[in-house]
Amino acid sequence: MSKRFVPKRGTRGTAEYLYFELSMAQGPRAIGDTGENELLDFIGTAWLLLLTEDMNLHLFRQDATVGEWTEITTALPPVFDSPLPATARRVTFAFDQSARVIVVYEDDGLCYVTRWDAPTNQYVQNVTFAGHDPVVVFDATWAYDIPVSDVLLFHLSTDRERLVCRVQRELFNIENELHDYAQPVVLDRVTRLPLRYQALASDAVGDPLASGATRVALTSDFYPYPYLTLVSADGEAYGAMGHTNELYEEVNLDAVNADGEAYGAMGHSASLFTAEDGDALGADGEAYGAMGHNLTLVVYEDDGESLDADGEAYGTQVHTLTLVIVEDFDDGVVDVDGEAYGTMTHKEA
Q: Report pLDDT digits (tens) over 166-206.
A: 999 999 999 999 999 999 999 999 999 999 999 999 999 99
* Of residues 157 and 286, more confidently modeled: 157
| pTM exceeds 0.75, yes or no | no
Considering only residues 53 and 343, tell me which one the structure prediction assigns the higher pLDDT. 53
- Which pLDDT value is given to residue 237? 57
Please tell me the distance from the alpha carbon of residue 60 to that of residue 46, in angstroms, as a whole number.
Answer: 9
pLDDT band at 217 (very low <50, low <70, confident <90, very high): very high
Domain locations along the chain: 9-219, 224-349
Strand partners, 60: 48, 71
Which of the pair, 110 or 272, is modelled with greater confidence? 110
- DSSP letter (8 states) at residue 55: S
Residue 158: pLDDT over 80: yes
d(CA 320, CA 303): 23
In 21-160, which ranges are E strands? 22-27, 45-51, 57-62, 69-72, 89-95, 101-107, 110-117, 122-130, 132-138, 151-156
Go through 77-103 and write b for each residue having 16 or more CB atoms within 10 A of its CB, e for each that does not: bebbeeebeeebbbbbbbbbbebbbbb
- Note the pLDDT tens digit of each residue in 35-74: 999 999 999 999 999 999 999 999 999 998 888 999 999 9
User: Which residue type sits at 233?
Assistant: A
Q: 2 pLDDT exceeds 90?
A: no
Mean pLDDT value of segment 284-303: 46
Answer for the pair 323, 294: CB distance below 8 angstroms, yes or no.
yes
At 3, the pLDDT band (50, 70, 90 cuts) reads: confident
